[in-house]
Structures are given as C-alpha cells and as structure tokens.
C-alpha cells in the first residue's frame, strides 16, 4: 500500500510548494528555474515532454499553479496575467440571461467588468449587502446562477458569512464564488467552507511586493467540470502569467505567512491609534472586537488581515492627510510590503454612481490603508504628524 504523503502545514507549503518538496530541478536548483521559452521540442512523433507551447502550459507557471492550489485546497488553479483577467475567464462559465448576485461593495474593477458583461454578454448582476444573509435569499431569481462574494469587502470591510452563503447555494443550485484577495489563503480558505471557485488578485498579498501583476482562479475538488471549461477558455485566449512573472509570484509567496502575521500586528496597532484621533471617525478594521463582522470573520478565518478604512471629520482633513504622509505612500493597490493609503472615491471607486457610493459610505472623507510590514511606530508617527 502506498504511504500517504505527509501534509505539511501552510507555512511550509508557502516556501516549498507541493511539488517542490519532492521535485529535483535541473542541477539541483533550489529556486524554481524560469523556463523562458514559447515552445518545447518534441522527443519524437506522438511523444511530448509534457510541455508543447507556453500559452497552454509552462513548467514555471505549473509550479506556481500547484503551489496556489495547495494553499487554497483547490483541485486546480489557473495563473492569469492579472486579477481582472482571472475574473474575465470566470465569466466564460455564464450564458446570456444568467443572473449573478454580487456583494454590493466589490473591487471597483470587478464592477466595471460586470457592467460591460451586462452590455455585451447579456449577463445580469444584482448587488446586495451579502453580510445580511436573508437579503441574499430574497434576491434570488429563477435565472440566478451564482453568488459572487468578497469578504471582508472592499473598501467598507463588511463580512459575509460564507457557510450561510453555501447553504443558500446548495438549496438553490448556485455556484459559490469568493474573491479571497483581502485575507489570502494564509488566513481564509473558502473552498474548505464550500466555495466552488476562488479568485485572487495575486498582485496583492500573494506576490506581496507591489511589483508584479497576477491573478488566480482556483477550482474546488469535485468541480473538475468547471475547471475543464475554464482552462479551455484560458488556454485559447492566452491571458496567462508569463514565466518570469510566475517566478516573481512564487518568490513572493515564500514569505506570505510572515508578511501576513506582521501586517496584521501592525494593522491592529494602527487601528487602535486611529481610534484615539479626534479627526478620525469610525475606524473599520475587522480585527477590532466592536466591528460588526468580527465574530463571523473569526468563525471562518484565522486572521483579520491588514486593511483598514476610516472616515475623517472633513474632506479637507482627508485630502491633507493624503499629501502630508511621508513614509506612507498615496497610491492605489494593496497587499504589498509598503504601506499605502488610498482615497476610494477618487481612485478605485471613481466610476461608482454617486447614490451607490453614498449608500456604501464611500464619501470624500473616506480613506483606506493597506498596512505594510514596516515598523508600526514609524507608521503611527507618520499618521500622527499628517493628522496634525
Ligand atoms: C486588485 C483587485 C482585483 C483586480 O486584480 P488586478 O490584479 O489588479 O487585475 C480584484 N479583486 C480585488 C479584491 C482586488 O483588490
């Protein structure tokens, strides 16, 4: 009888992946070689090395895909050229007339893509506050095919109960799709809670250094049917991650666990500091026990992550803060080693209609911090002087 392979813990798998534990690279290379080639020589007629053409597959990218599959508990993963590319591949599962319920507070780019899909592909989307389970149930139509969830949501940090979403999906025959960018598989693994598909902007925590775009689409075990359709679209279109960028993300993932722990420690300290500031109103951080989603998040994730949003007393304070920070950079994106501050209404959520933005609390006084791995006291000192 074959001996069962030892299941290494997630920290070990970020460093070694699943295959690398056993795999011996050419010349014993410890890091994954970058197979910078478009095509592969055939050994003979009807005899391939297993690789034929990089649009279809590439050994560097394969190793990244199996590493992300291992972290997420997925059957298979597609490594895409960006998070948006991964979401676009996902949409190939749907047909004109299909309806999808999505979290009302999604990444702005996802909303833009879904709006286009409504106009050009005949899909229908309804945006609901998915942190209120009964509202999701009420929103289901005969043509509803999937729930598309972000938890915590972006940028207002609402937490959706993934187990409750799974129950709804089972009852109504829907797919459960989760964008897991904010917590990363280090803190949250939606497939274990019933998700069929998981999306990542790998540009954020997975790669972690604000220097490489990437995206992932992971299919759960038992959803080989979906995986096959998705991989067909992916290899036909070619929105895959290059060998070099695959190497960059593999390298970034090696430190995922230590980065996430550090980011979370820093975020908690900064959230507590912000709460003491007279010019700061309601600090939204899922790691604060008074956050409305604290308990649900704790029941389904092992951490709270490093994203904080807050309101300032006036628009002037918010604008001043963005220009007065020195160490913290005023920039879009999140999940890297550098701390970034964003103004969602002017940046990521600029296209959101005024009414929808106001309902979500995405106002001119609203700011979002992606906490990095710097020294927490240095970050707090920077915020303190900028709030003066
Ligand atoms: C950034 C982001 C995306 C899009 O990913 P890109 O890599 O920028 O294409 C999707 N979802 C979330 C939650 C994001 O933060």
The tokens of 70 are what?
A: 């291992």
- Confidence grade of residue 27 (pLDDT, cut at 50, 70, 90): confident
Q: Is 347 in the pocket of ligand 1 (CB under 6 A)?
A: no
**Residues 103-124: tens digit of each pLDDT:** 999 998 999 999 999 999 999 9
Q: Is 181 in the pocket of ligand 1 (CB under 6 A)?
A: yes
Ligand 1 atom at shortest distance from the alpha carbon of 154: 13
Ligand 1 atom at shortest distance from the alpha carbon of 215: 7
Question: If you average pLDDT over every residue of the chain, what do you get?
Answer: 95
Give the residue among 306, 304, 385, 386 at the shortest CA–CA distance from 339.
306
Is 351 in a helix, a strand, or coil? Answer: coil
The C-alpha atoms of residue 356 and residue 354 are separated, in whole angstroms, by 6
Give the residue among 218, 186, 189, 183 at the shortest CA–CA distance from 204.
183
Pocket test of ligand 1: the residue of 109, 198, 349 to mutate, having most ligand atoms within 8 Å of its CB, is: 109
Q: Is 203 in the pocket of ligand 1 (CB under 6 A)?
A: yes
Q: Whose CA is nearest to atom 7 of ligand 1?
A: 83
Question: Angle, to 10 degrees, between the axis of helix 376-386 and the axis of helix 256-275?
Answer: 40
Q: What is the pLDDT of residue 5?
A: 55
**Residue 340 exposure: Cα atoms within 13 Å on the Cβ side:** 18
Global confidence as pTM: 0.96
User: What are the residues whose beta carbons fall under 8 Å from the beta carbon of 29, sequence distance 6 or more?
Assistant: none
Q: What is the pLDDT of residue 350?
A: 85
Contact 333, 306 (CB under 8 A): no
* Pairing, β 197-201 against β 175-179: parallel
Pocket test of ligand 1: the residue of 89, 178, 204, 205 to mutate, having most ligand atoms within 8 Å of its CB, is: 204
Q: What is the pLDDT of residue 138?
A: 98
Residue 362, class by beta-carbon neighbours within 10 Å (0-12 exposed, 13-18 middle, 19+ buried)? Answer: buried
Q: What is the pLDDT of residue 348?
A: 84
Q: Whose CA is nearest to atom 1 of ligand 1?
A: 201
How far apart are the CA of 5 and the centre of ligand 1, in A? Answer: 34
Catalytic residue ranges: 55, 107, 179, 204
Q: Is 184 in the pocket of ligand 1 (CB under 6 A)?
A: no
The C-alpha atoms of residue 64 and residue 75 are separated, in whole angstroms, by 14
**Residues 250-287: tens digit of each pLDDT:** 999 999 999 999 999 999 999 999 999 999 999 999 99
Is 137 in a helix, a strand, or coil? Answer: helix
Q: What is the pLDDT of residue 356?
A: 87
**Residues 300-318: tens digit of each pLDDT:** 999 999 999 999 999 999 9
Give the residue among 275, 264, 243, 294 at the shortest CA–CA distance from 371.
264
Is 342 in a helix, a strand, or coil? Answer: strand
The C-alpha atoms of residue 189 and residue 174 are separated, in whole angstroms, by 19
Backbone angles phi, psi at 281, to 5 degrees: -110, 160
What percentage of the chain carries pLDDT values higher than 90? 90
Q: Whose CA is nearest to atom 2 of ligand 1?
A: 201
CA dihedral 60, 75, 240, 107 (to 10 degrees): -120
- Confidence grade of residue 1 (pLDDT, cut at 50, 70, 90): very low
Q: Is 371 in the pocket of ligand 1 (CB under 6 A)?
A: no
**Residues 60-101: tens digit of each pLDDT:** 999 999 999 999 999 999 999 999 999 999 999 999 999 999
Give the residue among 196, 198, 218 at the shortest CA–CA distance from 66.
218
Q: What is the pLDDT of residue 23?
A: 65
pLDDT for 2 beyond 90 = no
- As a whole number of Å, the end-to-end CA separation of the chain is 69
Q: What is the pLDDT of residue 169?
A: 98
Backbone angles phi, psi at 226, to 5 degrees: -65, -45
Ligand 1 atom at shortest distance from the alpha carbon of 334: 15
**Residues 349-378: tens digit of each pLDDT:** 888 889 988 988 999 999 999 999 999 999
**Residues 124-145: tens digit of each pLDDT:** 999 999 999 999 999 999 999 9
How far apart are the CA of 49 and the centre of ligand 1, in A? Answer: 34
How far apart are the CA of 201 and the centre of ligand 1, in A? Answer: 4
Reading across the β-sheet that carries 124-128, which strands appear in turn?
A: 76-80, 215-219, 197-201, 175-179, 144-150, 99-103, 124-128
Q: Is 103 in the pocket of ligand 1 (CB under 6 A)?
A: no
How far apart are the CA of 6 and the centre of ligand 1, in A? Answer: 33
């Amino acid at each position: 009888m074959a001996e069962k392979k030892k299941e290494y813990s997630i920290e070990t798998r970020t460093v070694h992946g699943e295959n690398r534990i056993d795999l011996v690279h050419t010349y014993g290379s410890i890091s994954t070689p970058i197979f910078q080639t478009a095509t592969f020589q055939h050994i003979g007629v009807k005899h391939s090395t297993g690789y034929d053409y990089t649009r279809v597959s590439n050994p560097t990218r394969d190793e990244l895909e199996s590493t992300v599959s291992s972290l997420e508990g997925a059957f298979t993963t597609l490594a895409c050229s960006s998070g948006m590319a991964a979401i676009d591949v996902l949409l190939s599962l749907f047909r004109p007339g299909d309806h999808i319920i999505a979290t009302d507070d999604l990444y702005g780019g996802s909303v833009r893509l879904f709006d286009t899909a409504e106009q050009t592909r005949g899909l229908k989307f309804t945006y609901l506050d998915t942190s209120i389970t009964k509202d999701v149930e009420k929103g289901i139509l005969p043509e509803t095919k999937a729930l598309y969830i972000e938890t915590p949501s972006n940028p207002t940090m609402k937490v959706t109960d993934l187990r409750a979403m799974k129950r709804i999906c089972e009852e109504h025959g829907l797919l459960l799709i989760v964008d897991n960018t904010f917590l990363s598989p280090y803190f949250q693994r939606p497939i274990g809670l019933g998700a069929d598909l998981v999306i990542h902007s790998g540009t954020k925590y997975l790669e972690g250094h604000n220097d490489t775009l990437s995206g992932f689409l992971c299919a759960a075990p038992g959803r080989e049917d979906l995986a096959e359709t998705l991989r067909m679209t992916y290899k036909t279109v070619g929105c895959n991650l290059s060998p070099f960028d695959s190497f960059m993300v593999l390298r970034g993932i090696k430190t995922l666990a230590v980065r996430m722990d550090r980011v979370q420690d820093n975020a908690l300290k900064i959230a507590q500091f912000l709460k003491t500031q007279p010019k700061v109103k309601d600090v939204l951080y899922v790691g604060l026990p008074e956050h409305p989603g604290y308990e649900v998040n704790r029941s389904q994730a092992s951490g709270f992550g490093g994203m904080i949003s807050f309101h300032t007393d006036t628009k002037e304070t918010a604008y001043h803060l963005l220009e007065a920070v020195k160490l913290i950079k005023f920039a879009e994106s999140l999940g890297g080693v550098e701390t970034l501050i964003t103004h969602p209404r002017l940046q990521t959520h600029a296209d959101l209609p005024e009414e929808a933005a106001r309902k979500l609390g995405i106002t001119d006084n609203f700011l979002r911090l992606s906490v990095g791995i710097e020294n927490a006291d240095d970050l707090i000192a920077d915020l303190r002087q900028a709030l003066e």
